[in-house]
Amino acid sequence: MIFYDFLWLPEHIVNDLRFCFQKTSLVGSECCGLILGSYQKYIAHAQQLLPVHNVHQQKNSFMLPLHTYRQAKYISKKCNWDIIGIYHSHPNGKPYPSPMDVRGIENSDYPWLILAPACNKQAGLELVAFQPGTMKPITIHTKSALDTPFKN
């Protein structure tokens, strides 16, 4: 099981998430995939998304194809990364886990990231993340947030 308290999502990852979210939201389905990257102690750094086809039959659910983890491990090994999370979207929903998500997170080996539309449409996406097992919230940093203290 992988634990961390902070997840750094650089700008290109946020852009990729936004793209996946928008593309699937148009047809009212959830996007899903894995987040690859590195982690150490409390902090994880997302390096690449592995967006996959949502194979669940129902619209308000998601399921990763079986080969996804094998594919992710293959890519990760080459780059010395790990699978650091699972993401999916709630195109018309709220940025918190559904009862089914809670069961999934409790039984997962990886943190979960949930994408939902922001209340303020201009802001685009709302992102929340949870540790597996305990459901402890993970603090998400995006590049702009991390950059702010260094801007002068």
The CA-CA-CA angle for residues 39, 137, 72, to 5°, reads 40
- Asked if residue 25 binds Zn ion (CB under 5 A), the reply is no
Minimum distance from residue 114 beta carbon to Zn ion (Å): 6
Query: Residue 48 gets which letter from DSSP?
Result: E
Other Cβ atoms closer than 10 A to 152: 3
- Per-residue binding letters, 46-85, with Zn ion (x by CB under 5 A): ----------------------------------------
How far separated are the first and last CA of the chain, in Å rounded? 40
Q: Could you say which of 39, 82, 101, 127 contacts Zn ion (CB under 5 A)?
A: 101
- The answer to whether residues 110 and 133 touch, using CB atoms and an 8 Å cutoff, is no
Minimum distance from residue 104 beta carbon to Zn ion (Å): 8
84 or 86: CB nearest Zn ion: 86
Per-residue tokens: 39: 């982690």
Closest residue to Zn ion, based on beta-carbon distance: 101
Interface with Zn ion: number of residues (CB under 5 A): 2
- Asked if residue 98 binds Zn ion (CB under 5 A), the reply is yes
37 or 91: CB nearest Zn ion: 91
35 or 76: CB nearest Zn ion: 35
Bin 122: left if φ > 0, else alpha if -120 < ψ < 50, else beta.
alpha
CA atoms within 13 A on the CB side of 14: 17
98 or 142: CB nearest Zn ion: 98
Residues found near Zn ion in the complex (CB under 5 A)? 98, 101
